[in-house]
């Protein structure tokens, strides 16, 4: 199997954390691929995924798998031990899928905020305010779930949330979210020590100094 | 159960088609809710979903379900006959989930194109070109699958694709996609006769005359 991969993508990171948790990193060949949301879509990605996004999982026996949630489900069913991370049914599935939806949705809103803000005009103020309100509401909802995130078995839900928080740290370093949501920050600090999380964070030498995002979370 | 609903939302329409196919429309109370992507997020939606999106399914025994794919999975497992529409496992699940990812992703790109185009500046040309290329690539990929879309049992994959094509017709009436992808148009014409699809299309009296979207698909 081959994974279209980038070290900065929060959705690729979900797949990488899952592979580390399954102890299957060596089973997947990583192929560096950079999506270019503001330029021309990368033809190497488009050849496998018309949506022009990564991650994409290339499998020997079928069509490419296109979406981080579907890739994680596929890998969890393919390798031993996966059902604990991506439960197939029952209330545990519902909880994990809810957290995954919140984490992925938060990540999408953070990406949209950055795209808007870095546009030629500096972004539409109304749209930035709307995205900012949704981002803060997600943090608030996750903070209310901090106890449950800690107590529940670690799975795709917590993985998606960790990737969203990592994206906030990477692209919005001045947002101050830890001061606003100390319970969530405590949980994040515990999970940050997990080998799968530690191994997949954006390395310091890949961090870019971009324009200030001017977003308080 | 209650569904936060709007007659114009393509993701709400997925849930409504599924409910029609399950013959369970009467089991869910519809609550009109308009998301306001460019204005202030609707507080009635935000109270249940911090992402500020519809559909949201309110269930008596747990937290709201936040995402059209998760709502459709929940309803398909709740009501008899659902496993045919949202298969739980196997190659049929993989096929249906792939089409759902393509259909939902195409719908998202159509929504993003419209948001960009209706912005104060008329939209960033580079970003519009990038979204346009992805939209055309999705149509091309779906057109290549037209035979399979027809032959496979009707499910959440075809539902997501029909909702994307409906969104193209509703918001981009001059795109000319039927001329570019006649095989896909033939399949769409067949499926348009299904009662679930016919009952859920945007009604003429809800159509708006907006600015020209200037997108050839």
Q: Taking the domains of chain A in order of start, what are their residue ranges? A: 2-84, 90-194
Mean pLDDT of chain B: 94
We find that the CATH architecture of domain B2-84 is 3-Layer(aba) Sandwich (3.40)
Which residues in chain B are closer than 8 Å to A70, comparing Cβ atoms?
Answer: 97-98, 101
A67, A89, A119: residue with CB nearest B124:
A119
pLDDT in tens, B53-88: 999 999 998 999 999 999 999 999 999 999 999 999
Cβ distance B138 to A50 less than 8 Å, yes or no, reads yes
Question: Which residues have C-beta within 8 Å of that of residue B18, sequence separation ≥ 6?
Answer: B72, B75, B76, B85, B86, B156, B159, B196
Do B159 and B102 form a contact (C-beta atoms < 8 A)? no
Q: What is the pTM (predicted TM-score) of this model?
A: 0.96
pLDDT in tens, B113-144: 998 898 777 888 888 999 999 999 999 999 99
pLDDT in tens, B7-30: 999 999 999 999 999 999 999 999
Cβ distance A74 to B65 less than 8 Å, yes or no, reads no
Q: Which of B50, B69, B110, B116 to mutate to test the interface with A (most CBs of A within 10 A)?
A: B50
We find that the CATH architecture of domain A90-194 is Up-down Bundle (1.20)
* Helix orientation angle between B125-144 and B182-191, rounded to the nearest 10 degrees: 70
Q: Which of B37, B40, B51, B87 to mutate to test the interface with A (most CBs of A within 10 A)?
A: B51
Structure letter (DSSP) for residue B63:
S
pLDDT in tens, A89-134: 999 999 999 999 999 999 999 999 998 898 777 888 888 999 999 9
Do A101 and A95 form a contact (C-beta atoms < 8 A)? no
A77, A130, A138: residue with CB nearest B50:
A138
B70, B91, B105: residue with CB nearest A101:
B70
Measured at the alpha carbon of residue A209, what is the angle toward residues A172 and B129, in degrees to the nearest 5? 80
Q: Residue A212 pLDDT > 90, yes or no?
A: no
Q: Which of A35, A50, A88, A120 to mutate to test the interface with B (most CBs of B within 10 A)?
A: A50
A51, A88, A119: residue with CB nearest B134:
A51
Q: So what's the pLDDT on residue B206?
A: 76
* Helix orientation angle between A90-117 and B68-78, rounded to the nearest 10 degrees: 160
pLDDT in tens, A36-88: 756 789 999 999 999 999 999 999 989 999 999 999 999 999 999 999 999 99
Q: Residue B210 pLDDT > 80, yes or no?
A: no
CA distance B140 to chain A (A): 8
Residue B13 CB: number of other CB atoms within 10 A?
A: 27
Say what percent of chain A tops pLDDT 70: 97
* Helix orientation angle between A68-78 and A10-21, rounded to the nearest 10 degrees: 10
Cβ distance A51 to B109 less than 8 Å, yes or no, reads yes
């Amino acid at each position: 199997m081959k994974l279209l991969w980038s070290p900065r993508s929060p959705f690729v990171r979900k797949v990488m954390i899952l592979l580390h948790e399954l102890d299957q990193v060596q089973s997947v060949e990583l192929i560096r691929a950079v999506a270019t949301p503001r330029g021309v879509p990368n033809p190497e990605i488009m050849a496998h995924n018309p949506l022009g996004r990564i991650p994409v999982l290339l499998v020997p026996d079928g069509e490419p798998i296109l979406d981080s949630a579907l890739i994680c489900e596929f890998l969890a069913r393919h390798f031993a031990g996966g059902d604990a991370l991506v439960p197939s049914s029952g209330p545990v599935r519902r909880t994990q899928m809810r957290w995954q939806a919140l984490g992925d949705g938060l990540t999408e809103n953070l990406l949209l905020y950055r795209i808007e803000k870095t546009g030629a005009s500096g972004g539409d103020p109304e749209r930035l305010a709307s995205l900012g309100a949704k981002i803060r509401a997600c943090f608030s909802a996750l903070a209310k779930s901090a106890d449950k995130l800690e107590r529940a078995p670690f799975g795709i839900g917590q993985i998606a949330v960790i990737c969203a928080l990592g994206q906030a740290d990477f692209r919005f370093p001045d947002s101050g979210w830890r001061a606003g949501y100390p319970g969530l920050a405590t949980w994040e600090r515990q999970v940050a020590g997990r080998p799968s999380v530690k191994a997949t964070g954006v390395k310091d030498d890949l961090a870019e100094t971009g324009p200030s995002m001017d977003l308080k979370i």
